[in-house]
Chains A and B, each alone.
Chain A
């Protein structure tokens, strides 16, 4: 996995995981790779993964079952709300970008439909 060097690795992993969850690649209730395994996959320090998982857990996107491991929360409603919140945040960021370029709403919709 590639990482940008001007952003902390933890934040990049958190973003990656969120995208996996929100896109449905990691469906609700699905098991998440254990820390060491994921660390090996990403080729990063296990402590980094620990921090990332802790942050995700704090946002209640994942939870830990003491015997079985870590899972994506099964709460579909909550996930949908979080996904929306995340998307809205991203859209807001993008909107600022476009405003700085002076792009109007109509021009933007035309660009999207262009493909």
Chain B
């Protein structure tokens, strides 16, 4: 189980997250959708433990690690690809470094190259690999598909499919609903600082006959 209870976050007077409560079991890929500025990144930062300034609780039972694929760049200017992988390997003992190196080389990324010199897409791919192969049970992916070309998106989708298992759980935020809807079990809509109830993809399509994307578009734009 991984979840949050009454998570609240303000930036000064502005309340970004009002009351986020949810719980997810393992062996699921869950989407978190919302408009720009809804607070998806803010929420993921809180769930990953990066941001400690919030009210409410983040909890998990039965497992230790949470890995987070961030949008922002956190590395020092002189860090190389290899350096970052080594750093993560040091503190994530279950990391599958061999797999990461293999994937990197397949994309033609030289391990000794500086992270700052990679294209933003390549850099994002490196971050993705470090998260999905970190060995962590809970993996949070913040916009993993944005910025990437068709082939890399395919790769990411395939990797997510092959890496999910009974002990792990993935949370993905993205705007590319059409591409992600085939692999997510369900999703939440983050709107007005709270989560919608959990929508299970199969159920939604079955009951409404609409695609996930259409359903989401309606929900996110609904007047309350």
Contact = CB atoms under 8 A, between A and B. Distances in A.
Given A45-B29, A46-B164, A7 B183 contact: no
Contact of A6 (B27, B178, B184, B210): B210
Interface residues of A, number: 19
A2 to B, nearest CB: 10
A5 to B, nearest CB: 3
A39 interface: yes
Interface in B155-170: 157-158, 161-162, 164
Contacts of A6: 205, 209-211
Contacts, number: 54
Dominant SS among interface residues on chain A: helix
B162 A43 contact: no
Contact of A43 (B178, B183, B201, B211): B183
Contacts of B185: 45, 47
A40 B159 CA distance: 9
A3 B182 contact: yes
Contacts of B161: 36, 39-40, 43-46
Interface in B193-214: 201-202, 205-206, 209-214
Contacts of A9: 182, 201-202, 205
A10 interface: yes
Nearest to B162: A40
B217 interface: no
Interface string A1-23: 00101111111000000000000
A11 B207 CA distance: 13
B28 interface: yes
Nearest to A39: B161
A103 to B, nearest CB: 27
Interface in B90-105: none
A57 B99 CA distance: 35
A4 to B, nearest CB: 8
B144 to A, nearest CB: 15
B158 A40 contact: yes
Contacts of A44: 161, 182-183
Nearest to B177: A5
A51 interface: yes
B92 to A, nearest CB: 24
A8 B29 contact: no
Contacts of B213: 5
Interface of B: 27-29, 154, 157-158, 161-162, 164, 178, 181-185, 201-202, 205-206, 209-214
9 contacts: A3-B182, A6-B209, A8-B202, A9-B205, A43-B182, A44-B182, A45-B182, A46-B161, A51-B202
Interface of A: 3, 5-11, 36, 39-40, 42-48, 51
